[in-house]
């Protein structure tokens, strides 16, 4: 008979009678992984509710794990987050991970903490691009998978067909025989039930709870005296400083114990534990002692980063940290030097921007920041424009003003010196009647079609395409398929340079005056193209006020006022009907701008402008394709 396990007694310490081995046997560390919008966060909510984490009368929100405002607004998970629940005598630590490819770094680093994964797959859509990525990382880490086919209550659900596709995916990723023998759970996180077979009856998640306890192994940890923990996540407390989260690989740690941090560069710094945190539900509970196998948070070091080792004495060897995939795109962040700078934001200097970017790299391992020859410009590298757009949006909300350039891919050279660029694998589902225009678009972006299947009125397309060819493609897809197209993509490899790709076909309407936009002037400007501003907007020289109908840029005057005369007049702007202006979101604006343009992001406004505001100086600047080459050769 198994011993009864209460992980925490009334004082918040571990029960004295339970050995470390027994403690580890009753811990399960799992991650929820899936493609974006396949129901990870909803499933975590359901597990927390049905495990008794919340009181019966406790008010809870939908998607509780999406704690950031941007996560709730966009309906996606951006940061990996920890939670825990108790089921019978077991303590289950659970990590909710992002599903969007741009935030893959969050998935990669948490693989050091967990021993099993719940692979969630939509019962109608089946495995998608990010499903392949997250599953590959889980299999490489040796995590035990449980396949959860979610949304079986959908009208077009085909769970058995999806299961076959999942098995084929496991085979394609060279899963071991043990990994191929994965258990399957059919579920509806929204309805709150799970079952082992489709013909079973169930009204709760109990079959999934039982599968986690039965199939996920206890933590891979050692109950020795040698305390070691690999830092996999970071947070910050105004009272305690930096909090380092990770799984205890061996030994145990108590409050006020001396500890050593072995940094990435080999340095070793000493401190002592000022607090130890344990998860219960979504809350951090302060405890006195923690043992091998548990996922905890430790405070005591201000200078600690993801991938570093915390141990008990200086003589210990650091734990290996699996490096994550390198960034593939790069953008410039610059100080806002426009005429309207400082009017809306409070944090506008190069020092403010640099400190904020460095702070971001401490918790976002997929992001890299480098100084440039100009003290007011910084180069930020990441996985995709959405990842960096999220950072810009966060900075806007915190009171920063910043200029951001168009994404540029990071090139590198192989051992023979040949130029290579990042190639993505693209998955598309488009209506049949839009297939011709989409194929032409892909050809213009140097895409290579590898597979095509006709399924009813839709066509599924697989292609290899340069990362730079994807910039702006999503907008084209929405327009050409009238919103019916679906796309997902995944970094594939560095391949041979595909040559020039046609940039935006339309030029810009650039203001040549400072002032305020008038209806009278905009009525004349809109004859040249599509407007991006409205009457009353503040305008400055070099600001982009619209899209030209032709390929070249045109200087215009959107601030011109109607001259007053002694004759009777209809008045300034009266009776003039302007077309609705083109309003771009931040992600769309970053894709839209050309290489000689910036997006000016402030707490209240998004403006497009030329990098060089003076027209004469702009003409002198030669337009050339800049190639950024990484220093290390490709193996």
Quote the percentage of the chain above a pLDDT of 90: 27
Tokens of 1: 């008979």
- Name the CATH superfamily, with its identifier, for domain 508-593: bipa protein (2.40.50.250)
Domain topology for 228-311: Elongation Factor Tu (Ef-tu); domain 3 (2.40.30)
Residue 222: pLDDT band (50, 70, 90) is confident
Q: Which residue ranges are tagged as binding site for GTP?
A: 37-42, 150-153
Which residue is associated with the tokens 């027209």? 615
Half-sphere exposure at residue 600, Cβ-oriented, CA atoms within 13 angstroms: 26
Higher pLDDT, 191 or 281: 191
Residue 498 in tokens: 């595909």
pLDDT at 301 over 90: no
Distance between CA atoms of residues 140 and 174, nearest Å: 10
pTM of the full structure:
0.74
- Average the pLDDT over each of 8-17, 358-367, 515-524, 574-583 and give the range with the smallest value: 8-17
* Tens digits of residue pLDDT in 458-502: 888 889 999 888 888 887 888 888 888 878 787 888 888 888 887
Task: Read off the pLDDT of each residue in 195-222 and give the average, rounded to a whole number.
Answer: 89
- For the stretch 276-293, what's the b/e string if a residue is b when 16 or more beta carbons lie within 10 angstroms of its beta carbon? bbbbbbbebeebeebbbb
**What confidence tens digit (pLDDT) does each residue in 29-65 have?**
998 888 777 787 888 888 888 877 654 444 444 444 4
From 131-145, 206-220, 582-596, the region with the lowest mean pLDDT: 131-145
| Residue linked to tokens 């992980």 | 7
Cα distances (angstroms) measured from residue 98 to each of 32, 38, 80, 459, 508: 9, 11, 6, 27, 36
* Consecutive H or E run containing 312: none
What pLDDT does residue 303 have? 81
Please list, residue by residue across 609-620, b when 16 or more beta carbons sit within 10 angstroms of its beta carbon and e when fewer do: bbbebeeeebee
What does the alpha-carbon distance between residue 201 and residue 205 come to, in Å, rounded to a whole number?
Answer: 12
pLDDT value, residue 84: 86
Of the two residues 4 and 423, the one the predictor is more confident about is 423
Contact 383, 300 (CB under 8 A): no
> In this predicted model, which residue has the larger pLDDT, 9 or 442?
442
Annotation: binding site: 37-42, 150-153
Our measurement of the distance from residue 631's CA atom to the centroid of its chain's CA atoms, rounded to an integer in Å, reads 26
Q: Quick one: what percent of the chain has pLDDT higher than 70?
A: 85
Contacts of 280 (CB under 8 A, 6+ apart): 8, 53, 84, 86
- pLDDT: is 503 or 207 the higher one? 207
Are the CB atoms for 118 and 149 separated by under 8 Å?
A: no
Which pLDDT band holds residue 4 (cuts at 50, 70, 90)?
very low
What are the backbone dihedrals phi and psi of residue 196, each rounded to the nearest 5 degrees, phi first?
-80, -35
Q: Taking 50 as the threshold, does the pLDDT of residue 339 lie above it?
A: yes
Report whether pLDDT(18) > 80. no
Q: Strand 408-414 relative to strand 628-634: parallel, antiparallel, unpaired?
A: parallel
First-residue to last-residue Cα distance in the chain: 54
599, 590 contact by CB (below 8 A): yes
User: In the prediction, which pLDDT does 625 show?
Assistant: 44
| pLDDT over threshold 50, residue 2 | no
Report pLDDT digits (tens) over 163-176: 999 999 899 888 88
**What are the structure tokens assigned to 87, written together?**
């089921």
The domain locations on the chain are 27-215, 228-311, 425-494, 508-593
Residue 454's pLDDT is: 85
CB 612 within 8 A of CB 599: no
Report the Cα 310 to chain-centroid distance in Å: 27
Q: Which are the contacts of 392, defined by CB distance < 8 A and separation ≥ 6?
A: 402, 404, 586, 590, 599, 601
Mapping DSSP to helix (H, G, I), strand (E, B) and coil, where does residue 89 land?
A: coil
pLDDT, residue 1, reads 36
Please, which pLDDT band fits residue 273 given cuts at 50, 70 and 90? very high
For 561-626, the DSSP string reads PPPP-SS----TTTT--PPPP----HHHHHHHS-TTEEEEE-SS-EEEEESS-SHHHHHHSPP---
Residue 261 predicted with pLDDT over 80: yes
pLDDT grade for 17, boundaries at 50, 70 and 90: very low
Please, are residues 542 and 612 in contact by the beta-carbon 8 Å criterion? yes
Task: Check if CATH label 3.40.50.11540 holds for domain 425-494.
Answer: no
Residue 281, pLDDT > 70, answer yes
Pairing mode, if any, of strands 228-237 and 241-250? Answer: antiparallel
| Both tokens assigned to 374 | 């100009």
pLDDT at residue 543, as a whole number: 94
Q: pLDDT, tens digit, for every residue of 83-107?
A: 888 888 888 888 877 655 555 556 6
Beta carbons of 283 and 297 less than 8 angstroms apart: no
Distance CA 509, CA 547 (A): 6
- What are the phi and psi torsion angles at 520 (to 5°)? -60, -45
Q: Are strands 377-382 and 309-311 parallel, antiparallel or unpaired?
A: unpaired
* Fold of the domain spanning 27-215: Rossmann fold (3.40.50)
Q: For 114-134, what is each residue's pLDDT tens digit?
A: 888 899 999 988 887 777 777
Q: For residue 429, what is the enclosing H or E element?
A: strand 419-431
3-12, 228-237, 377-386, 533-542, range with greatest mean pLDDT? 533-542
Higher pLDDT: 107 or 204? It is 204
Token readout for 597 is 């343009």
The mean pLDDT of the chain is 82
pLDDT value at residue 79: 60
pLDDT for 414 equals 84
């Amino acid at each position: 008979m198994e011993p009864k396990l209460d992980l925490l007694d009334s004082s918040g310490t571990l029960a004295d009678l339970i050995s470390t081995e027994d403690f580890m046997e009753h811990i399960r560390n799992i991650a929820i992984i899936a493609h974006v919008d396949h129901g990870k966060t909803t499933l975590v909510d359901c597990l927390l509710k049905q495990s008794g984490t919340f009181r019966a009368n406790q008010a809870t929100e939908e998607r509780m794990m999406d704690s950031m405002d941007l996560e709730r607004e966009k309906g996606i998970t951006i940061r990996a987050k920890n939670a825990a629940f108790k089921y019978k005598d077991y303590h289950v630590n659970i990590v909710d991970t992002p599903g969007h490819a741009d935030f893959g770094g969050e998935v990669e680093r948490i693989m050091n903490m967990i021993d099993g994964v719940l692979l969630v797959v939509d019962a109608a859509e089946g495995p998608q691009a990010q499903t392949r990525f997250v599953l590959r990382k889980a299999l490489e880490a040796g995590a035990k998978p449980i396949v959860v086919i979610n949304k079986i209550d959908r009208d077009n659900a085909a769970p058995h067909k999806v299961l076959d596709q999942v098995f084929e995916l496991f085979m394609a990723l060279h899963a071991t025989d043990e990994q191929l023998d994965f258990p399957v759970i059919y579920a509806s996180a929204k309805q709150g039930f799970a079952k082992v077979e489709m013909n079973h009856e169930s009204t709760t998640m109990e079959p999934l709870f039982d599968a986690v306890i039965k199939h996920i192994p206890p933590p891979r940890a050692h109950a020795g005296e040698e305390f070691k923990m690999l830092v996999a996540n970071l947070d910050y407390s105004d009272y305690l400083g930096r909090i380092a989260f990770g799984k205890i690989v061996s030994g145990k740690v108590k409050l006020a114990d001396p500890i050593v941090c072995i940094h990435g560069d080999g340095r070793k710094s000493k401190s002592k534990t000022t607090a130890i945190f344990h998860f219960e539900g979504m809350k951090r509970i302060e405890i006195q002692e923690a043992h091998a196998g548990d996922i905890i948070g430790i405070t005591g070091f201000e200078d600690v980063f993801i991938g570093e080792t915390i141990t008990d004495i200086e003589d210990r060897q650091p734990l290996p940290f699996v490096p994550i995939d390198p960034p593939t795109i790069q953008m410039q962040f610059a100080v806002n030097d426009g005429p309207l700078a400082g009017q809306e934001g409070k944090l506008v200097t190069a020092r403010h921007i640099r400190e904020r970017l460095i702070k971001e790299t401490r918790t976002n391992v997929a992001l890299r920041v480098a100084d440039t020859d100009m003290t007011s410009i910084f180069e930020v590298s990441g996985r995709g424009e959405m990842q960096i757009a999220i950072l810009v949006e966060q900075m806007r909300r915190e009171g920063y003003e910043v200029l951001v350039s168009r994404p540029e891919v990071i090139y590198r050279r192989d051992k023979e010196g040949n130029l290579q660029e990042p190639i993505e694998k693209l998955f598309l589902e488009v209506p049949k009647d839009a297939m011709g225009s989409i194929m032409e678009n892909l050809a213009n972006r140097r895409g290579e079609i590898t597979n095509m299947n006709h399924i009813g009125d839709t066509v599924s397309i697989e292609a290899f395409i340069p990362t730079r060819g994807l910039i702006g493609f999503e907008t084209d897809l929405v327009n050409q398929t009238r919103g019916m197209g679906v796309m997902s993509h995944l970094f594939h490899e560095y391949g041979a340079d595909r040559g020039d790709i046609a940039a935006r076909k339309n030029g810009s309407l650039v203001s040549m005056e400072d002032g305020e936009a008038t209806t009278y002037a905009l009525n004349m400007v809109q004859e040249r193209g599509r407007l991006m501003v409205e009457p009353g907007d503040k305008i400055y020289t070099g600001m982009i006020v619209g899209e030209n109908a032709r390929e070249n840029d045109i200087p215009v005057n959107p601030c011109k006022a109607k001259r007053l005369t002694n004759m009777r007049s209809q008045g300034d702007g009266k009776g003039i009907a302007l077309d609705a202006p083109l309003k771009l979101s931040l992600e769309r604006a970053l894709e839209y701008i050309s290489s000689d343009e910036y997006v000016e992001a402030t707490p209240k406004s998004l403006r497009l402008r030329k990098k060089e505001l003076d027209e004469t100086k702009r003409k002198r600047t030669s337009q050339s394709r800049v190639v950024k080459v990484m220093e290390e050769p490709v193996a």
